[in-house]
């Protein structure tokens, strides 16, 4: 049995031939499509087993390439914004505003548990983006609404929002 490095060395002439490389890549893609679940399962198992080594390699790579790290962080921030926007737009039925006071500043909008119990749910599912990912993964379960932070806090502290009470 050859390692991939040994195989490449042994088959250098054939491997450099563009048409032969195309066959290898095509076959590899075809094989991967047929065995995708098996590959993903193996990959997760490998990552779990070699977590420390992979973390060290990643650290070293990003230490040597700080520009790549910056790019990855920016991409991650953008991804988090997209997930949050997707969840908020689903629960606000596309209008992106507070269900109580109609606040439209996206920075102020949060997800509210209609029947309460948000703290317990956050402890189990996670805060922030982890919770938005959970909602998306679970296909947007019922029992949530979009409120601005002020309305959400007043509902949590006082049981109701001042906007929903009649003016005295």
What's the rounded Cα separation, in Å, for the pair 94 and 5? 53
Beta bridge partners of 147: 110
Taking 70 as the threshold, does the pLDDT of residue 148 lie above it? yes
Q: Taking the complete model, does pTM exceed 0.75, yes or no?
A: no
Written as six digits, the tokens of 8 are: 């490449």
CB 98 within 8 A of CB 109: yes
Sign of CA dihedral 88, 92, 98, 104: positive
What's the rounded Cα separation, in Å, for the pair 95 and 107? 15
CB 69 within 8 A of CB 76: no
**pLDDT for 22-78, tens place per residue?**
555 666 777 778 888 888 888 899 999 999 999 999 999 999 999 999 999 999 999
């Amino acid at each position: 049995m050859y390692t991939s490095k040994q195989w490449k060395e042994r088959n250098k002439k054939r491997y450099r031939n563009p048409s032969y490389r195309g066959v290898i890549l095509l076959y590899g893609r075809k094989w991967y499509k047929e065995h995708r679940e098996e590959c993903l399962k193996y990959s997760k198992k490998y990552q779990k087993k070699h977590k420390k080594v992979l973390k060290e390699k990643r650290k070293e790579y990003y230490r040597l390439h700080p520009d790549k790290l910056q790019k990855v962080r920016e991409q991650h921030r953008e991804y988090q914004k997209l997930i949050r926007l997707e969840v908020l737009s689903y629960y606000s039925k596309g209008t992106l505003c507070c269900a109580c006071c109609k606040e439209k500043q996206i920075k102020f909008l949060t997800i509210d548990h209609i029947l309460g119990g948000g703290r317990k749910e956050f402890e189990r599912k996670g805060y922030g983006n982890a919770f938005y990912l959970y909602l998306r993964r679970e296909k947007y379960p019922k029992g949530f609404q979009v409120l601005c932070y002020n309305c959400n806090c007043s509902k949590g502290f006082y049981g109701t929002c001042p906007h929903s009470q009649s003016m005295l």
